[in-house]
């Protein structure tokens, strides 16, 4: 059974700071949704200013508004 995810590949999102390991603020691109067998949905995301991908829980990602994307 396939479950729809909140974000899709290519979508631009922002990251909230919920813990001590904080990702830089700014725009991130969702690269893919990871398989979700148990626990929260996770995504592979990338900030254009970094040379590596991050794995983020869905709860840490927010939809990026058009105003925020152009700022």
Rounded CA-CA distance 50/6 in Å is 24
Strands, sheet with 54-57, edge to edge from the N-terminal-most edge strand: 54-57, 42-46, 27-33, 12-15, 61-63
Per-domain residue ranges for the chain?
12-64
**Helix and strand totals (H; E) in the chain:** 1, 5
Q: Kindly report the pTM of this predicted structure.
A: 0.80
Partners of 5 in beta bridges: none
Distance CA 45, CA 9 (A): 9
pLDDT tens for each residue of 25-67: 789 999 999 998 888 999 999 999 999 999 999 998 999 876 5
Instruction: Please tell me what DSSP assigns to residue 70.
Output: H
């Amino acid at each position: 059974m396939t479950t729809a995810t909140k974000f899709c590949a290519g979508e631009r999102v922002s990251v909230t700071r919920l813990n001590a390991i904080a990702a830089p603020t700014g725009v991130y691109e969702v690269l893919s949704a990871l398989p979700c067998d148990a626990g929260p949905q996770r995504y592979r995301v990338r900030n254009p200013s970094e040379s590596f991908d991050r794995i983020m829980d869905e709860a840490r990602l927010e939809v990026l508004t058009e105003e925020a994307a152009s700022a």
